[in-house]
Amino acid sequence: MNKFNIAKYVLFDIIRNKWLITYSIIFFITSSLLTYFSGTEERTISSLLNVVLIIIPLVCLIFTSMYYYNSRDFIQMLLTQPVERSNIFFSEYIGLSISLIFAFLLGILFPIFSFGLTLSILILVVVGIFLIFIFTSLSMLFAVKFDDKLKGLGLILFIWLFLTVIYDGLLLYLYYLLADYPIEKFTVIFALLNPVDISRIAILMNLDLSAMMGLTGAAFLKFFSNPLGLIISFVSLIIWVILPIILASKNFSKKNF
């Protein structure tokens, strides 16, 4: 059997999902309004940045987990067929990721048409796609691990809150406590541990807004403007995609349904 046969039907199912269609339309309207009222490309991307960094992770986490929980009976039915567990698992993952990427690209069409596919917009798109892969895999990990929907969703929401808000708050507090020490290099390392931070910095650096970040910004600029820094941040994003999905896949193949 073709490995992508199941993924194709998962995709068919999700792209007809009314919640995903609504999300795409709202995203399209929001990005169009932001583009229209912001005027310049730089201001538009700065405004879209928050949508990409906060809304996309939240939507991916919730949509993926809800879809997985609601599909459990059908997944069980598929598991009774002559097909490998990994095939079913990755079909679900690929189907979910591609449909969410499709919704994201549809949502961001207006800025692309307005300013063309410039480097800044391209980075925004690439970062958005990475975030979709990362948060879909994180969501799959928790949804597979916890059969209790409430527990799973609770943890997923905590992960979102932690990576988008709490982590930065803790770092700020740490920087405040260690303000007298040369911790610039460590800020880069800490940023690499959070996919939302890597994405934020990658977009801001390209917009030349690092000057607003003081000494930390200078450290970021130095790191991200050299090829090795870019490769390291790219690799860390890839690890953020691969690690949760491998753990989720292992859980799935040993799971009792």
Report the SS3 class of residue 24. Answer: helix
Encoded tokens for 140: 């799959």
- Selected binder of other proteins within 33, 40, 84, 189 (CB under 8 A): 84
Contact between 13 and other proteins (CB under 8 A)?
yes
Tell me the window of 12-20, 110-118, 137-145, 192-200 that interacts with other proteins (CB under 8 A).
Answer: 12-20
Distance CA 71, CA 3 (A): 19
Residue 256 region, left (φ>0) first, then alpha (ψ -120 to 50), else beta? beta
Tell me the window of 3-11, 45-53, 158-166, 234-242 that interacts with other proteins (CB under 8 A).
Answer: 3-11
- Selected binder of other proteins within 25, 26, 33, 77 (CB under 8 A): 77
Encoded tokens for 29: 């309207």
Tell me the window of 74-82, 168-176, 192-200, 213-221 that interacts with other proteins (CB under 8 A).
Answer: 74-82
| Matching residue, tokens 């130095």 | 222
Q: Which is nearer to other proteins, 12 or 113 (CB)?
A: 12
The DSSP secondary-structure symbol of 108 reads: T
| Matching residue, tokens 């880069």 | 188
Q: Which residues bind other proteins (CB under 8 A)?
A: 1-2, 5-6, 9-10, 12-14, 16-17, 70-71, 73-74, 76-85, 254, 256-257
